[in-house]
């Protein structure tokens, strides 16, 4: 299973909505997918599951959330447990999040330097998210794991990114998202290098495979910008124009090739419009915007927007599949 994390330390860039819709689109294309909510705010869980189902999980301190799965390891009474994911469709499952996940931030922070001291428990804790995601993936024979993380640079996200083969950076067309991109790039390189240093010191006989911590950036997605006459409004264009150079310098530590702009940049995976009229209906119907039907309220001009939304997310998802490679999907597309 290949894992893809969506990460920016600026909130409000459409990250969770991207993960949600791409997960559904992967399912539409016939690809078995696991979505993992590793954000202590549990936003991805809240869009997938009804409040009653979430309340039951949390009230019962279920082992079937990320926090519940990690609890025995954190409390020192055993190793983690592989949770039972929530079934969304036959090809889409959710590893549920939990607001209590924030409680393990200090433990993850404390165990990070102890890996350098070759302590086995430190490696068990830091690799916990990876073992959960890949353990669920093995049981489901999933091909893709999507990882949603919170908008910060803390220890939880560091351990979550260690579990990622690839990283996509969502952006909104504003100053704060561009500044967030400047922070994310160097941090990814630092975490990647630091994890490799720790893997080299891992003791033998751990009994599980350590994640590679590849964290390979494959591009950025610009979301939630308004359009006028089929193009971005002027207020957003200045920030769109800065994205290619900022991405190359901050994330890849390289110079932007001459002549490359937002329209020709192969690191730009997509520019996703703000489908304001569809989002409330999608939230009410508990389904992605591109699967809305007239019975859900998507009538008249809304149906044209639904079809356009479907094509936008399909193109983005296909681009991601091409970037990560080795996933046979074309013959299985269900639509």
Enumerate domains of the chain plus CATH numbers. 2-274 (3.40.50.300), 278-325 (no CATH)
Q: Which residue's entry shows tokens 């055993």?
A: 78
pLDDT number for residue 30: 95
CA 30 from centroid of its chain's CA atoms? 19
pLDDT band of 328, cuts 50, 70, 90: low
pLDDT band of 335, cuts 50, 70, 90: very low
Q: Is the pLDDT of residue 90 over 90?
A: yes
Beta bridge partners of 166: 4, 216
pLDDT number for residue 59: 84
Please state, in angstroms and rounded to a whole number, the distance separating the CA atoms of residues 225 and 276.
10
Contact in structure between 184 and 9 (CB atoms under 8 Å): yes
pLDDT number for residue 326: 60
- Per-residue pLDDT, averaged over 164-183, amounts to 89
If we measure between CA atoms, which residue out of 143, 122, 305, 147 comes closest to residue 198?
122
What does residue 273 show for φ and ψ, rounded to 5 degrees?
Answer: -70, 165
pLDDT number for residue 334: 46
Please list the alpha-helical segments (H only) found in 42-127: 43-48, 51-59, 66-75, 105-114, 120-126
Q: Are strands 166-172 and 33-37 parallel, antiparallel or unpaired?
A: unpaired
Contact in structure between 306 and 298 (CB atoms under 8 Å): yes
pLDDT number for residue 7: 92
The length of the chain is: 335
Q: Give the CA-trace dihedral at 133, 136, 138, 141, to 10 degrees.
A: -110
pLDDT number for residue 44: 96
Contact in structure between 198 and 225 (CB atoms under 8 Å): no
pLDDT number for residue 330: 58
Q: Is the pLDDT of residue 215 over 60?
A: yes
Q: Is the pLDDT of residue 28 over 90?
A: yes
pLDDT band of 278, cuts 50, 70, 90: confident
pLDDT number for residue 234: 66
H or E element: which one contains 170? Answer: strand 166-172
- Per-residue pLDDT, averaged over 161-189, amounts to 91
Q: Which two tokens stand for residue 289?
A: 């915007």
Q: Is the pLDDT of residue 113 over 90?
A: yes
Q: Is the pLDDT of residue 88 over 70?
A: yes
Please list the alpha-helical segments (H only) found in the chain: 15-28, 43-48, 51-59, 66-75, 105-114, 120-126, 128-140, 155-162, 175-199, 234-251, 279-285, 301-324
Please state, in angstroms and rounded to a whole number, the distance separating the CA atoms of residues 265 and 267.
5
Which residues, in sequence order, are CB contacts of 254 under 8 Å at separation 6+? 248
Q: Please measure the distance between the N-terminal and C-terminal CA atoms of the chain and give it in whole angstroms.
A: 23
pLDDT number for residue 296: 87
User: H helices then E strands: how many in the chain?
Assistant: 12, 10
What does residue 293 show for φ and ψ, rounded to 5 degrees?
Answer: -115, 165
- Sheet order of strands, 86-89 included: 86-89, 92-95, 33-37, 144-148, 2-6, 166-172, 216-225, 268-273
Q: Which residue's entry shows tokens 């819709």?
A: 21
Q: Are strands 86-89 and 92-95 parallel, antiparallel or unpaired?
A: antiparallel
């Amino acid at each position: 299973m290949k894992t893809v994390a969506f990460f920016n330390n600026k909130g409000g860039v459409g990250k969770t909505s991207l993960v949600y819709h791409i997960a559904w689109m992967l399912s539409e294309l016939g690809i078995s997918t696991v979505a993992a909510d590793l954000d202590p705010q549990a936003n991805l869980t809240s869009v997938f599951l009804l409040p009653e189902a979430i309340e039951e999980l949390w009230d019962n301190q279920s082992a079937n959330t990320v926090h519940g799965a990690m609890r025995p390891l954190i409390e020192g009474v055993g190793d983690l447990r592989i949770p039972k994911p929530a079934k969304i469709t036959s090809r889409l499952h959710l590893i549920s999040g939990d607001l209590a996940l924030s409680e393990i931030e200090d433990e993850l922070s404390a165990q990070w330097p102890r890996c350098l001291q070759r302590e086995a428990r430190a490696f068990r804790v830091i690799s916990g998210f990876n073992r959960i995601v890949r353990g669920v993936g093995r049981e489901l024979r999933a091909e893709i794991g999507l990882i949603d993380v919170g908008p910060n640079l803390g220890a939880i996200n560091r351990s979550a990114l260690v579990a990622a083969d690839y990283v996509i950076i969502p952006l909104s067309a504003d100053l704060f998202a561009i500044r967030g991109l400047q922070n994310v790039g160097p941090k990814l390189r630092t975490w990647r290098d630091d994890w490799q240093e720790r893997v080299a010191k891992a003791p033998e006989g751990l009994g599980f495979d350590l994640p590679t911590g590849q964290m390979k950036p494959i591009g950025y997605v610009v979301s939630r910008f308004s359009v006028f006459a089929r193009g971005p409004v002027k207020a957003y264009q200045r920030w769109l124009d800065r994205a290619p150079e900022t991405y190359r310098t901050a994330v890849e530590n390289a110079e932007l090739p001459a002549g490359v702009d937002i329209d020709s940049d192969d690191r730009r995976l997509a520019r996703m419009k703000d489908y304001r009229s569809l989002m409330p209906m999608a939230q009410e119907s508990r389904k992605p915007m591109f699967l809305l039907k007239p019975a859900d309220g998507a009538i008249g001009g809304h149906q044209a927007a639904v079809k356009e939304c479907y094509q936008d997310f399909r193109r983005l998802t296909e681009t991601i599949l091409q970037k990560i490679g080795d996933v046979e999907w074309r013959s299985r597309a269900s639509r």
